[in-house]
Structure formats: C-alpha cells, structure tokens
Structure 1
C-alpha cells in the first residue's frame, strides 16, 4: 500500500525545468564548427607548401565577367608577399630581388591563365579557403612558389656573387641555369674562380680551371708560318 502511494506521488510531481547543457557535455546536441580546419587549402598552405584539402563551399556567381576579374585580382594582390617569402634563402639572408621579380612575373602569368575560373565561383571563400574549382589554379601557383624557393636555396648566393663579379651568365637566367647546371664554360670558370664558396654546391665536378681555358685558347690560335731567309 505504501509503495503504491509513493509511486502515485512521484508520477504526479511536476517535471523539473529543462536546463541547457553546456556545449562540451556528452549529452549536448551537436554543433557544427564552421571555422576552416587545419587541412583547408588557404593562402597560408600555399605559402608553406603543406598538403591541404579543398573544403570551401562557395555559391555560384551570376556576374561572371566581374567575378573572373575579381578572382585574378585577389590573387595578384598577394603576389608580392608570397614571392618575398619564396625568394628568401634558407640561410636567412634577405630575399633575392631578382628572384622576387621573376616570381611575380611567373605568378601573375599563372593567375591570369588559370585562376579566373570563368567567373563561375569565387576563387577564395569568405573564410579564406580556396574553392574546390580552384584546384588547377592553386597547383600552378604552388609550383611557381616552390620553384622559386628551390632556386633561392641552391642558386641565390651564387647568382648574387656572379652579378657582383660580372661573370658571364649573370642576370635573370642565372638562377635557372645554376639550378639545372646548364651554365656555359666561361661562366663556370668565372664562378669557380671568383665565387667558389657561394657556388660550391652546384658546380659540376669537371668544372674547367682558368689555366685549362687559357691552354685551350692558346692551342687554338693559328701559328704563323716562319718565312725562310
């Protein structure tokens, strides 16, 4: 009898007021985190070269001409900052000004070629993430920056010395030629003689010496016939 009365009282008691659970509680309703994940493809991953995921959600654009121009302009606006970073040698020296200029030209060409996206969607969403449709654009820009970073590491000091010493081959093509070991004989001799320390990592083992060049030059000179008396 007592048990029946107790159950009746419990069933008739008013419900406890609902209390909102803190977000971190296990029983709390799930909440979507709309912030970019650590894997999102952003300007930061483009600069660092980290692997990433194209996770942006962008709405289709109707003003395709304006959107295409805006896409290219958005990426060109950050070209200088990205190229300054890419053209800085790993030794910590200042960015190579020749490489910065070369980088900006190639970066701009890539942006104009592949990053308009036909004006169909924004290239970057409001949270700074590259759109999935921008994959080709992103990869082309990334390749430009990676190539410049490689040349800054292996050729920057050598080419700066070549320019200072006025060696043959100095100039815009120096970085690519040094990186690919495609310098001419005279340039190799000059760099070996005047920029040995700066160029030691990229000099071929069979680099001719200055003496060898002189000997070869002298051997090629035509001999004058001695007139008989």
Structure 2
C-alpha cells in the first residue's frame, strides 16, 4: 500500500512528456542590464533648488578640461537666466501668492552676487545634459540655496512689516528693513516707528511696546521774562 502511494506521488511530481521549454532564451541571461540614466528623485536639479530639498550630486561629467571662458560664461548665464523665476517663486510661495517686487529685487541682487562665482572656471559644465548639477558645482548650489532660503524667511516674517514701514516712512526701511526685521536687529528708532504706525503688520517680530526705547521728546524753547511792575 505504501509502495503504491509513493509511486503515485512520484508520477504526479514528474514533468509531463513534451513539456514546453522556458520562454526565456539562454542568451538573455548573459545580456547586459538596462540602465535608466534619467535623473532620479534625489538628483540635484533646478527643481530641487527651487523646492529647497536635500539632494544628491549624481551627474556624470567628463573629466574637467582646460579652462574655457565660453564654458564659464555659459554656466553663469544658465543660472542667471533662472534668477527671476526662482526669486519670484520664492517670495510668492512664502506669502501665499502675494507678490513683493522690492523683495524680489533684493533676492535677484543677492542671487547675482553668488551666481557670478558659479562659472567653475570654465573647466566643466555646471549641469549635465539631464539637468543634474555637477559635483563640482556643490558649493555654488549650496550658496544659491542659501540665498533662496534667506529670502523665503524674509518674505515670511518681514515682508508685510517692511511694506508698511516703507509706506509710513519709518527709518531703516527698504532693503535693510528685510534683513533687520528677520534677524530682529532693527534700530530703536525704526522699532518705535513700526510699533506706532505698523503694529499689526509688525507685531510678530516686534518686542513688547514697553521694552522699545523711545526717543526723548524735543524740549520746546522756554521763554522766561521778568514781570514789570
């Protein structure tokens, strides 16, 4: 009985005669793997720069060649052309779609000061053909990212206040206002003016009213005279 049971199991497990061969040809096992060279989600690109995301400098660049002024100019121009869009978007996103042309101008000026150093001496392109930043552009990318993040902070905490300060002709308005307010370094006279004329717009970044130094009131001329009898 046991022998018949074992024989039945062996017959069930055996491959039927004339079974179809594998559909995978033998040479396919030795074929080289297919490589997707498109940028990954972690590649450093203009999009990650715009979003302020952490990224990987995964571009594959040819060995650096002799310095070329044409390559250097092309690197700077490529990034400079993106400045208006990046700065406008950085300010607008931080302000829920509200523009601040003056802060965009501040951003473009700061961006231009950095991008001028992104030519990489013309030894290699700043991005590859897939739009990925070159590993040699790491310092450039970080500097540009810092500019955009600083401007976003200014837009978030200082923009509304500085717009009011400019309208109210408070001292220290303009470009200096954005940096001073976002760092809480505004001068006493500016703080007093903002507290008096722009309290609602600046309340988030102002110290308590009681702690703000106030300029001493101007003393009026006192006229003394002797009464004639």
**What TM-score, normalized by structure 2, do the two folds share?**
0.79
Q: Match for residue 159 of structure 1?
A: 162
**Cα drift, residue 182 of structure 1:** 2.1
Quick check: 1:106 aligned with 2:118?
A: no
Alignment of 1:65-214 (within 5 A): 65-88=69-92, 90-113=94-117, 115-206=118-209, 213=215
TM superposition shift of 1:108: 1.0
Q: 5+ residue gaps in structure 1?
A: 1-12
In 2, are the aligned partners of 1:191 and 1:199 still within 8 Å (CA)?
A: yes
Structure-1 separation of matches of 2:210 and 2:169:
19
Find the counterpart in structure 2 of residue 226 from structure 1: 224
Could you tell me whether the CA contact under 8 Å between 1:192 and 1:207 is conserved in 2?
A: no
| Native 8 Å contact 2:67 2:121 kept in 1 | no
Aligned length: 207
Shift of 1:104: 0.7
Structure 1 contact 185–208 (Cα < 8 Å) conserved: no
Q: CA deviation at 1:44?
A: 0.7
Q: Give, in whole Å, the separation in 2 of the partners of 1:63 and 1:131.
A: 16
Alignment of 1:23-102 (within 5 A): 30-59=33-62, 60-62=64-66, 64-88=68-92, 90-102=94-106
Distance 1:161 1:176 in 2: 15
Partners in 2 of 1:185 and 1:152 — Cα distance? 22
Q: C-alpha deviations, 1:40-99, integer Å up to 9, x for none?
A: 100011111110110001123456111011100100010000000112263414221111
1:87 is paired with a residue whose SS is helix
**Superposition RMSD on alpha carbons, in Å?**
3.0
Deviations 1:104-156 (A, max 9, x none): 1111110112x110111100111010000000110111111111010000000
Structure 2 spans left out of the alignment, 5+ residues:
1-17
SS at the partner of 1:68?
A: helix
Change (3 A) 1:49 1:71: same
1:160 deviation in Å?
1.0
Change (3 A) 1:93 1:187: farther
> How far 1:16 sits from its partner (Å)?
6.0
